[in-house]
Chains A and B, each alone.
Chain A
Amino acid sequence: MTRQMTGARMVVQALKDQGVDVVFGYPGGAVLPIYDEIFQQNDIRHILVRHEQGAVHMAEGYARSTGKVGVALVTSGPGATNAVTGLTDALMDSIPIVVLTGQVPTFMIGTDGFQEADTVGITRPCTKMNWLVKDTAKLSETIHQAFHVAKAGRPGPVLVDIPKDVQFANAEYTRPEKARTDHYAPRVKGDIDRITRLVELMETAERPILYTGGGVINSGRGASQLLRELADATDFPVTSTLMGLGAYPASGKNWLGMLGMHGLYEANLAMHGCDLMINIGARFDDRITGRVKDFSPRSKKAHIDIDPSSINKVIHVDIPILGDVGHVLEDLLKIWKARGRKVNREALSKWWAQIGEWKKVNCLAYAPSDKTIKPQYALQRLEALTRGRNRYITTEVGQHQMWAAQYLGFDEPNRWMTSGGLGTMGYGLPASIGVQVAHPDALVINVAGEASWLMNMQEMGTAMQFRAPVKQFILNNERLGMVRQWQELLHGERYSSSWSESLPDFVKLAEAFGCKGIQCTDPKDLDEAIQEMLAYDGPVIFDCRVEKHENCFPMIPSGKPHNEMLLSADAEAFKSGAVLV
């Protein structure tokens, strides 16, 4: 059966056939035909954002918390350029999203028409793939391909640019199963010989470590399950990047905490001192490695990654395994079990004893206060009061983000949404709305700093309009905290433009948006205030006034190796004089 329809209807039909239930977007001249089609149906919900950047971050939040593809729809020109930050963010963090942009009619392309921009040109370096569709007959197939490319292999953002005349014209609709997608089929099975070589190393390793990343989460629930099985069966310690938190549970017995620039002492020292490093779906980011030439100098390294360009990009590895984490872990476990489940128990127990010594440093210790709220304390209380709940956390970018990663525990994947690679301030608020739309009954908290939060605060309007009861937990230090910290430690305490003057009254701001505002300044009131936030049925802006000059430790300054970590003055090791190991 052939089905003729307009390009605009095709867009909506293709989204439905791809299982899309919600689109985040903003209308404009070049997408009016599509919006007209959206108006005339009820299967796809449209969330009207306040700025296109917000739409893309919401799609990201939706995608990361569900494992499905997130969709944003924006107009030509400024609509598309406003989406660029979100696209780059999704590219860096491997988030599958499809962004549909309107474009001026094909006959106007190149004439500098009103709201014309070279969208595919601008977005080429920040998408996994993009298409300008000039023929309605190719539109539906292109959209199906876009979904395939977004999900397959290493996930990422794709963009389809659709001129207005293409939306108006009629053509035959191509169903998803008829669309050609086999031309892009990244290899998912790892090389068995290499996996076997890794198993051999695992059997004799004295100081092994599993270094896990966002690839485990992107690989799906099964991959996280296999990781847990692997860690528990071998008793290997597990650390994770910022992106991979929750793949192995924070309550798990082998958990060392996050590694990297603001990672835990025991995690970084274990990375530095290990003799077998198994990188599972991470990418040796510079926030992880520190100084490359001193990175984990005595270890054999294996790297499991679906992206060939991630392997040997930064760190040369001994056993590269190209494949999907889930598939490779499955084979790895099978082979390890078939060979008799061997590990070097004796050496492992010594290794754990050493790790135990590092843990005694208590690197997350901080000086408590009964006068001001310490940001770490605020997060510990938030954790204590929400841990058991059906909870999703998003963050902005900066000190609060690192503290959240350190002090909040994640026992499941897809519960932690943060801008890791790009470090996009302004990510957390829209992402929290995207998460809430996907999980209407869950508790969704955006842990924020006031400066980041202000970057996309207009999206509170979206939260109100669509009744997304997101909780904005703002650690307000009236500073650009991480910038201030670097200036204190590395730039002679010259605080160049790192404090915010004329901040809004967040409680009044909440009232202006029509939601609830809470301010808390005294640690004694904090629990009650958090409870009030949790109890409120609707969006909350929580202005948590915290210590203004708190630094985030541990910290590996840029370009230093893992064993040259700065610790808080309150960590145990500092008192015993062993700050730098």
Chain B
Amino acid sequence: MSALNIKKGSTSHSAYDLRDSHSEVEESHTLAVIVENEPGVLARVIGLFSGRGYNIDSLTVAEVDHTGHRSRITIVTRGTPAVVDQIEAQLSRMVPVYEVHDLTAEGPCVQRELALIKVSGRGEPRIEALRLAEIFRASVVDSTLDSFVFEMTGTPAKIDAFAELMRPLGLKEIARTGVAAMSRGA
């Protein structure tokens, strides 16, 4: 490991040049990939991950520039530093890929995910669920006498934490969008 021992993935440091690329420790990285918005591109990107045995923990994609036909794919992946570098290189050589950013390596970034969480129950657990939702700043987007659907945005860890708390209170269903991420600053 590097002398300064700055953990890669830290949001307060850029440790890109300090990390040890021989390390066998797996790290989580968030990649932003700007691609041509045309049929088959997503399949090509996903096929790279499955074909070469890379991990996908989360993946989101949507068009971000209609006139320029650009889509942005956000991928959260895991691997040793050498594997993450290889993923970045493999992505960047693809013909319909314009840009690849390793947001984790490039510096601080914000990560947000949206989740819909259905909780059912009556009585005290129902009240507790609503109370916790307020603390987590989740909003109620659907309600019946014995259920709520909460909507919340936040980091994946925040959503994990909320879902975990809802489990004993009657968690029924959860839908998550996957992570959208962007570097901080200009």
Contact = CB atoms under 8 A, between A and B. Distances in A.
A444 interface: no
A210 to B, nearest CB: 24
A309 B89 contact: yes
B186 to A, nearest CB: 26
Given A307-B93, A308-B92, A121 B43 contact: yes
A454 to B, nearest CB: 31
A309 B166 CA distance: 44
Contact size class for B?
A: 10 to 19
A184 B82 contact: no
Interface string B78-94: 00001001100110110
Contacts of B39: 132
Given A121-B43, A125-B47, A316-B22, A184 B89 contact: no
B102 to A, nearest CB: 13
B82 A124 contact: no
Contact-size category for A: 20 to 34
B47 A130 contact: no
B40 A124 contact: yes
B95 A312 contact: no
Interface in B93-115: 93, 95-96, 98
B27 interface: no
Interface string A117-146: 000110011001111100000000000000
Nearest to A186: B93
Interface centre among B85, B93, B98 (most CB of A within 10 A): B93
Contact of B82 (A125, A130, A307, A316): A316
A153 B93 contact: yes
Contacts of B90: 309
Interface string A151-164: 00110000000000
Interface string B111-147: 0000000000000000000000000000000000000
B95 A313 contact: no
Contacts of A313: 86, 89
A121 to B, nearest CB: 7
A149 interface: yes
A132 B40 contact: yes
Nearest to B40: A120
A486 B40 CA distance: 41
A305 to B, nearest CB: 10
Contact of B89 (A124, A129, A183, A311): A311
B183 interface: no
B44 interface: yes
B93 A309 contact: yes
B43 A154 contact: no
Given A184-B95, A311-B89, A124 B47 contact: yes
Interface in A159-194: 183-184, 186
A129 B21 CA distance: 30
Contacts of A132: 39-40
A127 to B, nearest CB: 9
B51 interface: yes
B21 A124 contact: no
B36 interface: yes
B19 to A, nearest CB: 13
Contacts of A308: 89, 92-93
A130 B93 contact: no
Contact of A312 (B36, B51, B85, B98): B85
A124 B85 CA distance: 23
A149 B85 contact: no
A154 B40 contact: no
Nearest to B46: A124
A459 to B, nearest CB: 30
A309 B21 CA distance: 15
Contacts of B92: 308-309
A149 to B, nearest CB: 5
A568 B51 CA distance: 39
A247 to B, nearest CB: 23
A149 B97 CA distance: 13
A415 B22 CA distance: 40
B51 A125 contact: yes
Interface of A: 120-121, 124-125, 128-132, 149, 153-154, 183-184, 186, 307-309, 311-313, 316
5 contacts: A124-B44, A124-B47, A129-B96, A312-B82, A316-B82
